[in-house]
Amino acid sequence: MGLDKRKRQVLYAIVHDYIQTAEPVGSRSISRRYELGVSPATIRNEMSDLEEMGFLEQPHTSAGRIPSDRGYRFYVDSLLRVPSLTVKEVTFMKQLLSSRMRSAEEIVQQLAKLLSALTSYTAIVLGPSESQAKLRQVQLVPVSSRQIYLVGVTDGGLLLNRMVEIPSGVDAESLASLQQWLNQRLAGLTLEQIKAQDLLALQDEMQAGIDLFETVMDELLGSVNQQEVGKVYLGGTTNILNQPEFHDLHKVRAILELLEEDALIWEAMAQAAGKGVTISIGAENALSAMQECSLITAEYRLGDGLIGHFGLLGPTRMNYDRVLALVQGVCETLNQLYGL
């Protein structure tokens, strides 16, 4: 990018200041707060250039400048310095994430709370995908004449639960034999591997009713292929009310209503799947309600083939440095606690 050193300094200063104050930044305040060794007039010229290049915007003629989406983008790509977390924060994280969790759901819920507590943004955590989970054991619990409850335990001791509607008239024996067969043939495989097998061929081996077999397998593998909408966990939805850019009720409503739409949120987050840490700034987001927000996403792993995504949603004037540090910290901590 053709930005000389001083332009980079000025852009950095403006982004940095604006992130803290939420007020347009003027040339004088930059020359006061940052030691650039030039006068406000010179800075004004630089600002004027930066505006023409699309990195800055002016709310109105006689106001200071604020970063444009492109300005933030440049900041994030080239200027940012990710600080390290304090020892305090790290221990806090470990404490909250490790305090004898009982299920993946609890971990994930706690993660949402943690993220929102350590920022003033809204945390979004998607429930983990199970397709990489390695099955260790399956138990079929009869619930009624038309339903059984399938409890799967993964290698790492996390649970996959499914309620299965079965054809009526299935007796306890066929259930038992199906269960035994499932445990013999599927143990040690991930759901994806199971999916990849030739189920029709397997089915022939089976003695139990075809209907029963099919419905159970369908249900067990249901989440693997179709890019299903799973559970969405939120933390700190009210945090955005503290952001000055959301002192407008219409904006607040747009965002809060969006956050209630699990399907949309899931989709927006899932787009970042497999890309590590992603940052979407303002209009880079597809959803119109998010055009004034930035979304930072990352992947978490619960060690056991359970992979999911989490993210932080805030105004474009987000504290990228800190959020990125936090995201990295969370990933590392989860790895330490539940790692492979």
Partner DNA sequence: TATTAGCACTCGCCTTAGGAGAGTGCTAAC
Partner DNA sequence: GTTAGCACTCTCCTAAGGCGAGTGCTAATA
Binding positions for DNA, 90-109, rule CB under 7 A: none
13 binds DNA (CB under 7 A): no
- Amino acid making up residue 285: N
Rounded least distance, CB 253 to its own copies, Å: 5
Cα separation, 87 vs 95, in Å, equals 12
Instruction: Kindly tell me which of 106 and 211 has the beta carbon lying closer to its own copies.
Output: 106
Return phi, psi of residue 293, to 5°: -120, 160
Closest by CA position to 70, among listed 53, 45, 83, 86:
53
Q: How many residues bind DNA (CB under 7 A)?
A: 25
- Start-end of H helices in 226-280: 249-259, 262-270
Rounded least distance, CB 7 to DNA, Å: 11
Contacts of 115 (CB under 8 A, 6+ apart): 121, 123, 125, 235, 236, 310, 312, 326, 330
Contacts of 2 (CB under 8 A, 6+ apart): none
Q: Given candidates 40, 156, 209, 230, which one binds DNA under the rule CB under 7 A?
A: 40
Binding positions for DNA, 252-281, rule CB under 7 A: none
247 binds, among its own copies, DNA, none (CB under 5 to 8 A by kind): its own copies
Instruction: Kindly tell me which of 58 and 137 has the beta carbon lying closer to DNA.
Output: 58
Return phi, psi of residue 187, to 5°: -60, 140
DSSP secondary structure of 65-114: BEE-HHHHHHIIIII--PPPPPHHHHHHHHHHHHS---SHHHHHHHHHHH
Among 23-31, 162-170, 195-203, 241-249, which window interacts with DNA (CB under 7 A)? 23-31
100 binds, among its own copies, DNA, none (CB under 5 to 8 A by kind): its own copies
Rounded least distance, CB 170 to its own copies, Å: 15
326 binds DNA (CB under 7 A): no
DSSP secondary structure of 162-219: EEEE--S---HHHHHHHHHHHHHHHTT-BHHHHHHS-HHHHHHH--S-HHHHHHHHHH
Among 41-49, 73-81, 150-158, 273-281, which window interacts with DNA (CB under 7 A)? 41-49
Cα separation, 51 vs 46, in Å, equals 9
Instruction: Kindly tell me which of 17 and 69 has the beta carbon lying closer to DNA.
Output: 17
Return phi, psi of residue 136, to 5°: -110, -35
Q: Given candidates 8, 28, 70, 134, which one binds DNA under the rule CB under 7 A?
A: 28
24 binds, among DNA, its own copies, none (CB under 5 to 8 A by kind): DNA
The residues that touch its own copies, with contacts defined as CB under 8 A, are 100, 102-103, 137, 139, 141-144, 147, 149, 151, 153, 157, 159, 161, 163, 165, 237-238, 241, 247, 249, 252-253, 256-257, 260
144 binds, among its own copies, DNA, none (CB under 5 to 8 A by kind): its own copies
Instruction: Kindly tell me which of 143 and 196 has the beta carbon lying closer to its own copies.
Output: 143
Joined tokens for residue 292: 């004034």
Binding positions for DNA, 174-233, rule CB under 7 A: none
26 binds DNA (CB under 7 A): yes
Site string for DNA, 49-68 (x = CB under 7 A): --x------xxxxxxxx---
Rounded least distance, CB 130 to its own copies, Å: 16
Contacts of 97 (CB under 8 A, 6+ apart): 107, 110, 111, 114, 330, 333, 334, 337
5 binds DNA (CB under 7 A): no
Cα separation, 13 vs 202, in Å, equals 64
65 binds, among its own copies, DNA, none (CB under 5 to 8 A by kind): DNA
| Terminal alpha carbon distance of the chain | 40
Residue numbers at the binding site for DNA (CB under 7 A):
24-29, 37-42, 44-45, 47-48, 51, 58-65
